[in-house]
A and B are shown apart, each in its own frame.
Chain A
């Protein structure tokens, strides 16, 4: 699976929607094939070893927000469903479940991904960060969303906050235009974009003060 690195890509700030798709598990899914689950898992760890079948249940360990979490998944289990249904990590939300809305965004090895289309088994050995791990103090992204009312029902908000954090980690000085593009993989039905954009700009400033 090609590792996407936005820093070398054409997008100066964060991942565009298309980059999201490329970086998500949809690409990985096509590499999953036949064999006994545990063996297959080892092979998956070795990566790029050619096709393997994973079936049945497999025990995996995911590093979520700095903690090693052991759980049982099926090969087809998405990272999102694993986080929400098995590990009770419910910051990321399931909305479209097919890589169009960004509500499920998590940061995997530093890149924002749609966790609804990333397979949990492909995330072993990677660093998974969700919104719950972010600084909730005045220098953090959540604070800026709160102060600017960049949320209403709030169901899209964890996704926006996560995408925003990932953007600012890579581009600490985004222009408004870069913020717009960096967050363009997320959708808000309540229409909080005005507050969200201001929150991103404010968070960029606050993070520098940290």
Chain B
């Protein structure tokens, strides 16, 4: 019989506190950056103070003689070009961190400072210094569907708008890095803050030319990654190298400044969008010219058109290269940008058409798409929860006082499916222990607990009865945690492993109980024979004697799926005199198939909304065109929401039976996609003009108001 999710689960879908929650809340959880093996040396990075420079000379000798210093490595070579402030130069390991910092400062580097471009306008200006061969702007091939220009020429209504979102950084609270310890000349253990223990193991094995089986990467806990922590990185390899040369464990985690500069960012997005519709609100065409910067790397493209059915579209995108740290995947890569641009244009179109923005969206969902009825249901729920019809006034009709209220909406989509080659093992021993093992890792998403819930469901136990061991690269192959794929990849093999282990247990102990395996079942910590409670779980396991059960789960068909969506609504108030925006309420309606742990699901959706609020209101990497440095590589001027900034957030998990029947789908990324878009639309609704640039900071809001009043004066 095909394996299916239990029809009447007792645990799946309920709110289960995470297994490691108390360890984390009591400070007992040891993160990679907390590891301090006996004799650990502290390593500190030296990185480029310049946006663009050539290393004329690099002399690490002065550092070698400094107190406490045990090892120094030059990462960059003389003659090498450093492409951004924060680019790696050298590293020092010393007995204390203070000594390592002094020594890093003592390294003598002579730089030949080269001309830089750190902002897109700077990079795109005529005559700008070329920082990559072939020019700073790389135009991609235009993606065309139909004849958008002809459709727009015929359209009843066309809006044209320019919208922009800045580069933001991941700001993982635990910096990138690892603690490395050589157990033998060819045997390495590292505690790495990573989203992919097995990727890190592979990279380190490769770097040191040792078998991957000799590398153990441990990540019991990690303090946030959001897409930026998939590899060992230069820093990790450097730590391992220093550990090798000094014969001591070495701990190397970036400081906050380099973390902002070098450890990844979400590319910016700027676009001129021309969107046309018939007068009854049917979209006819979109022409979009967009660009963005992924720093010294490309990768700034994003999906557009987004969500809606646009019969004809023409889209061209250019990667702009600047002297900034390279972009890395960041929670739903590309989608928040595509969503914000599309939804801004949709709102501006609704305004021009005089159609309610919610209606315009419903009218333009793709016909004959299975997602469309789901969106329709979700938008209806969301509109009700925010009080759209009762509260929302048309754009600019929100009073004349200094404080204006507004409402906005945005729709989003995501994949979230899994891979099919991952494994979970389930071991049952005679003392009643159930142990799961897999080389995946918990980023805070709760996968450790999710796996335990599944096994407990199958075995009639409590989740806390299950030992859920992950975060070890030597365990059975586990999913790298990116793309919201962890749960969809790991839950099916976990169900399979637990089910096989249960069946194997039944087969082993049935004869001793005078029963057949088919007579046996498990519930509430007891073994049932023909449905009647018999001995306890522990006593049942005791019948294994000296044997134990160990089963490996694979991925059967039909337990996971891909493709989710949802909508978000925002209520804001804007002070038009100061430009300060406060978000009062966020409504998030989200589908994601079968939910395993409703408590951690809620946290993901809340957290996604709050991260989206940061993108909507506060975050931006501010580069100084003159000096080429980042002006806010910290946590006071790089703003993130605190407790007083967080509004009421209303969640709705959209999970009718047909959604549950789809099986598990990831939830990490989708709920952060639409928030900034909805906030932007709410601000425009409140103040009557489009604020074309994110974040909705006082500066950007006041600029938009000033531009609008200048327009007015011009007309008067």
Contact with B along A131-151 (1 / 0, CB 8 A): 110101000011101110111
B171 touches A189 (CB 8 A): yes
B98 touches A100 (CB 8 A): no
Q: Is B376 interfacial (CB-CB < 8 Å)? A: no
Q: How far apart are the CA atoms of A40 and B127 in the complex, in Å?
A: 59
Q: How far apart are the CA atoms of A188 and B25 in the complex, in Å?
A: 13
Contact with B along A144-175 (1 / 0, CB 8 A): 01110111111111100100000000000000
* B21 cross-chain contacts in A, Cβ below 8 A: 145-147, 149, 151
* A145 cross-chain contacts in B, Cβ below 8 A: 21, 25
A192 touches B25 (CB 8 A): no
B26 touches A193 (CB 8 A): no
Q: Is B533 interfacial (CB-CB < 8 Å)? A: no
Q: Is B119 interfacial (CB-CB < 8 Å)? A: no
Q: How far apart are the CA atoms of A196 and B21 in the complex, in Å?
A: 13
A192 touches B30 (CB 8 A): no
A130 touches B27 (CB 8 A): yes
Contact of B96 among A74, A94, A197 (CB under 8 A): A74
* B42 cross-chain contacts in A, Cβ below 8 A: 85
B26 touches A84 (CB 8 A): no
* B24 cross-chain contacts in A, Cβ below 8 A: 146, 151, 154, 157-158
Q: Is B173 interfacial (CB-CB < 8 Å)? A: yes
* B26 cross-chain contacts in A, Cβ below 8 A: 91, 131-132, 134, 136, 142, 161
Contact of B98 among A74, A92, A95, A153 (CB under 8 A): A74
Q: Is A201 interfacial (CB-CB < 8 Å)? A: no
* One of A1-9, A22-30, A44-52, A176-184 at the interface: A176-184
Contact with A along B1-42 (1 / 0, CB 8 A): 000000000000000011011101111111101101000001
Q: Is B552 interfacial (CB-CB < 8 Å)? A: no
Contact with A along B628-642 (1 / 0, CB 8 A): 000000111000111
The chain A residue sitting closest to B649, CB to CB, is: A194
* One of B77-85, B496-504, B515-523, B601-609 at the interface: B601-609
B96 touches A191 (CB 8 A): no
A193 touches B224 (CB 8 A): no
* A152 cross-chain contacts in B, Cβ below 8 A: 443-446, 600, 603-604, 607
B607 touches A191 (CB 8 A): yes
Q: Is the interface of B mostly helix, strand, loop or mixed?
A: loop
B25 touches A187 (CB 8 A): no
The chain A residue sitting closest to B21, CB to CB, is: A146
Contact of A187 among B18, B642, B649 (CB under 8 A): B642
The chain B residue sitting closest to A145, CB to CB, is: B25
Q: How far apart are the CA atoms of A102 and B136 in the complex, in Å?
A: 40
A98 touches B634 (CB 8 A): yes
B25 touches A146 (CB 8 A): yes
Q: How far apart are the CA atoms of A187 and B600 in the complex, in Å?
A: 19
Q: Report which residue of B21, B31, B42, B226 has the largest number of chain A beta carbons within 10 angstroms of its beta carbon.
A: B21
The chain A residue sitting closest to B15, CB to CB, is: A149
B255 touches A155 (CB 8 A): no
A180 touches B607 (CB 8 A): no
The chain B residue sitting closest to A77, CB to CB, is: B98
* B595 cross-chain contacts in A, Cβ below 8 A: none
Q: Is B611 interfacial (CB-CB < 8 Å)? A: yes
B31 touches A155 (CB 8 A): yes
B606 touches A192 (CB 8 A): yes
User: Closest Cβ of chain A: how far from B351's Cβ, in Å?
Assistant: 31
Q: Is B626 interfacial (CB-CB < 8 Å)? A: no
Q: Is B297 interfacial (CB-CB < 8 Å)? A: no
Q: Is B363 interfacial (CB-CB < 8 Å)? A: no
Q: Report which residue of B17, B18, B643 has the largest number of chain A beta carbons within 10 angstroms of its beta carbon.
A: B643
Size category of the A interface is: 35 or more
B256 touches A95 (CB 8 A): yes
Contact with B along A75-104 (1 / 0, CB 8 A): 011000100110010111111111011010
The chain B residue sitting closest to A98, CB to CB, is: B634
A103 touches B30 (CB 8 A): no
Contact with B along A1-37 (1 / 0, CB 8 A): 0000000000000000100000000000000000000
Q: Is B131 interfacial (CB-CB < 8 Å)? A: no
Contact of B174 among A17, A92, A93, A195 (CB under 8 A): A93
Q: Is the interface of A mostly helix, strand, loop or mixed?
A: loop
Contact of A190 among B30, B221, B444, B634 (CB under 8 A): B444
Contact of A191 among B28, B172, B608, B636 (CB under 8 A): B608
User: Closest Cβ of chain A: how far from B643's Cβ, in Å?
Assistant: 4
Contact with A along B138-169 (1 / 0, CB 8 A): 00000000000000000000000000000000
Q: A85-B36, A149-B21 are in contact. Are A91 and B603 (CB under 8 A)?
A: no
* B20 cross-chain contacts in A, Cβ below 8 A: 154
Q: Is A117 interfacial (CB-CB < 8 Å)? A: no
Q: Is A122 interfacial (CB-CB < 8 Å)? A: no
Q: Is B599 interfacial (CB-CB < 8 Å)? A: yes
Q: A77-B98, A181-B644 are in contact. Are A132 and B28 (CB under 8 A)?
A: yes
* B175 cross-chain contacts in A, Cβ below 8 A: 95
A151 touches B643 (CB 8 A): no
Q: Is B247 interfacial (CB-CB < 8 Å)? A: no
* B28 cross-chain contacts in A, Cβ below 8 A: 91, 132
Q: Is B97 interfacial (CB-CB < 8 Å)? A: yes
Contact with A along B611-631 (1 / 0, CB 8 A): 100000000000000000000
Q: Is A118 interfacial (CB-CB < 8 Å)? A: no
Q: Is A115 interfacial (CB-CB < 8 Å)? A: no
Q: How far apart are the CA atoms of A116 and B205 in the complex, in Å?
A: 36
Contact of A189 among B34, B599, B640 (CB under 8 A): B640
B635 touches A101 (CB 8 A): yes
Q: Is B58 interfacial (CB-CB < 8 Å)? A: no
Q: Is B610 interfacial (CB-CB < 8 Å)? A: yes
* B646 cross-chain contacts in A, Cβ below 8 A: 180, 191, 193-194, 197
A146 touches B98 (CB 8 A): no
* B172 cross-chain contacts in A, Cβ below 8 A: 153, 155, 189
Q: Is B223 interfacial (CB-CB < 8 Å)? A: yes
A193 touches B634 (CB 8 A): no
Contact of A149 among B18, B34, B611 (CB under 8 A): B18
* A194 cross-chain contacts in B, Cβ below 8 A: 606, 646, 649
The chain B residue sitting closest to A147, CB to CB, is: B17
Interface residues of A (CB under 8 A from B): 17, 74, 76-77, 81, 84-85, 88, 90-98, 100-101, 103, 130-132, 134, 136, 141-143, 145-147, 149-158, 161, 179-181, 183-197
A85-B36, A93-B33, A149-B599 given; 11 more Cβ-contact pairs under 8 Å: A81-B97, A93-B31, A96-B634, A132-B26, A146-B24, A153-B223, A155-B31, A158-B25, A180-B646, A189-B173, A190-B444
Sorted nearest first, the 3 A-B pairs with minimum C-beta distance are A91-B27, A155-B223, A191-B610
Offer 6 A-B interface pairs, CB within 8 angstroms, sorted by A. Answer: A94-B33, A96-B634, A142-B26, A143-B25, A154-B223, A189-B171
